[in-house]
Amino acid sequence: MGRRVRCEKQEGDSVAAKHTAGTDTGQKPSDGGEQGARRASSDDPGAVGRRVHRLRTERGLTQRQLAEPAYTPAYISTLEAGRVRPSEAAIRHLAERLGVTYEELETGRPAHLATDLRLKLVEAQRTLATGAAEDAVADYTRLLAEAEQLGLDGERATALLGLGQCALETGELPVARERFEAAEKLLADAPLPQRAPAVRGRAVAHLLAGELRYACYLLESAIDELNASGLQDPGALLLLYTAAIAPYMDMGAHARAAQAGELALALAPQVSDPELVAGLHRGVARTLIAAGRTQEADASLAKAAEIYQQLQIRTEMAHCHWMRGYVHAQDGDLSGAETELRAARDMLASKRAALYTAQVEVELADVLRRLGKRQEAEALLLRLLGELQADRGSVHAGGVHRLLGLIAEERSDLDRAEEHYVTALGLLERAGAAGDLADICRLLGDLLRRAGRTEAAMDAYRTGLGHRAAPGSTTLGPAPVRPPTS
């Protein structure tokens, strides 16, 4: 009889060791509560046995009635006495016989508490999508405390991901990184697909801080690990490939950005999450714009906007207006560009998404300058100088100084123009934004050459050409590998 108990326990331990949480790759409540509950119950081996005894007595069942047909009365006696740790299979059997859920028997916590918490997390996500980030912060903070009290690590991670996303919108980048890192740490034992949203969040935070190379490193490392692990989760891969497009583009690695977009498009038919697919279309649009395929880019943005409209995700809708404004500007439709950019700015400002609002206003200022509204553009740019710094939107901060330099040149204030160009050069060089850096070096070189400072002009041109000639690598290794074909 003892042999049967020992074998049953060993088999159960094996099953428990293999059990992992779900692989949801969006920013939705994850099913990690059971895993955290099992870890919590392991601190008190007799807790499950005491619950079994209480519930059995309440229901008027004998040990034999509870045990059969899978176990013996002796096993139930040993379990209730706290002398054996039940396996997952045993707990599931007993829970069914006692008329409770696995989670309730394992943790002593009614199952509806975890379910209610997950529903509340969905509501917090909806608040973030449709309202201001500050409103969602209060919800996520309260739910994080509730998840901690209940010992639900999966739900704690979901709340931390939500708080990280809120911090991205409000421009609190150190806070965002801290939240995403905490979520990733909580999920350290979970499969990589479940950690993908936290990795993506960290990468976006570093991207917005101007740390382009490190953002690429995080995403490339996760992609390579995911492909090498045999866990080719389509949603997780699509999320990571899509996220890599923006830092690649800012670094001037257009070929890598296009490849990431192609790989993500190939995965799209296997992904059911519409928000992930919309993000893909938005990312791919940027590679199409760079290739001069503006009509295709506009069509891709229209697909993304339609999905975001259905999901009522205002921040992402604003990003679509933002990119469509850029498309119109590239095509020379400055009035259309102004309309789209103002719509994006107003939507983001209504959500109090401060950093994104400032970035859109840089693009708007460029359009206003080109429309001849120089005074309005300059006033907007001077205000933005205080909102965009080296560690908070450095690429766009460089763009502010570039535009102020152009305005100064148009007024023949060459000394002021040079100051702005040099400042922009420093910001862009630290960020590694190769394409923008090459452009600012050209502007500075032209300015110096017209002033008769030929040697200084040549130095500026060489700096720009050096970055243009760079191979575009982002880590010490090659580009991320393609997913294995099945």
CA pair distance 436, 442, nearest whole angstrom: 10
CA pair distance 151, 145, nearest whole angstrom: 10
Beta-ladder partners of 267: none
| 368 and 356 Cβ atoms separated by less than 8 Å | no
- What is the amino acid identity at position 349? A
Between the alpha carbon of residue 302 and those of residues 214, 282, 320, 343, the distances in Å are: 31, 9, 8, 15
Q: What length does the chain have?
A: 486
The closest of 325, 304, 330 to 315, measured between CA atoms, is 304
pLDDT of residue 11: 33
pLDDT of residue 8: 36
CA pair distance 188, 169, nearest whole angstrom: 26
CB atoms within 10 A of CB 28: 17
The encoded tokens of residue 406 equal 């152009």
The encoded tokens of residue 362 equal 């840089």
User: Which residue in the block uniquely carries the two structure tokens 């509950």?
Assistant: 37
| 348 and 315 Cβ atoms separated by less than 8 Å | yes
Evaluated on CA atoms 184, 187, 190, 196, the torsion sign reads negative
CB atoms within 10 A of CB 228: 12
CA pair distance 436, 342, nearest whole angstrom: 23
Q: Is 73 left (phi over 0), alpha (psi -120 to 50) or beta?
A: alpha
CA pair distance 18, 25, nearest whole angstrom: 20
Give, for all 486 residues of the chain, the pLDDT tens digit: 333 333 333 333 332 333 333 333 334 444 444 444 444 444 566 889 998 999 999 999 999 999 999 899 999 999 999 898 899 999 999 999 998 888 788 877 776 788 899 999 999 999 999 888 888 999 999 999 999 988 888 999 999 999 999 999 999 999 999 999 999 999 998 899 999 999 999 999 999 998 999 999 999 999 999 988 876 789 999 999 999 999 999 888 899 999 999 999 999 999 999 999 999 999 999 999 989 899 999 999 999 999 999 998 999 999 999 999 999 998 899 999 999 999 999 999 998 898 999 999 999 999 999 999 999 999 999 999 888 877 778 889 999 999 999 999 999 999 999 999 999 999 998 888 887 888 999 999 999 999 999 999 999 999 888 755 443 333 334 566 666 655
pLDDT of residue 467: 59
Between the alpha carbon of residue 481 and those of residues 141, 222, 231, 451, 477, the distances in Å are: 38, 11, 14, 49, 11
CA pair distance 466, 459, nearest whole angstrom: 10
| 215 and 200 Cβ atoms separated by less than 8 Å | no
pLDDT of residue 230: 75
pLDDT of residue 484: 62
User: Which residue in the block uniquely carries the two structure tokens 């919590």?
Assistant: 40
Between the alpha carbon of residue 355 and those of residues 96, 171, 172, 319, 331, the distances in Å are: 52, 5, 9, 12, 26
User: Which residue in the block uniquely carries the two structure tokens 């199409």?
Assistant: 288
CA pair distance 287, 460, nearest whole angstrom: 28
CA pair distance 17, 486, nearest whole angstrom: 28
CB atoms within 10 A of CB 80: 21
Evaluated on CA atoms 456, 460, 461, 463, the torsion sign reads positive
The closest of 256, 255, 340, 338 to 305, measured between CA atoms, is 340
Tell me whether the omega of the peptide bond preceding residue 69 falls within 30 degrees of 0, making it cis. yes
| 344 and 325 Cβ atoms separated by less than 8 Å | yes
Q: What is the pTM of this model?
A: 0.76
Q: Is 406 left (phi over 0), alpha (psi -120 to 50) or beta?
A: alpha
Beta-ladder partners of 389: 392
CA pair distance 478, 221, nearest whole angstrom: 11
| 409 and 448 Cβ atoms separated by less than 8 Å | no
- What are the DSSP calls for 442-460, one per residue? HHHHHHHHHTT-HHHHHHH
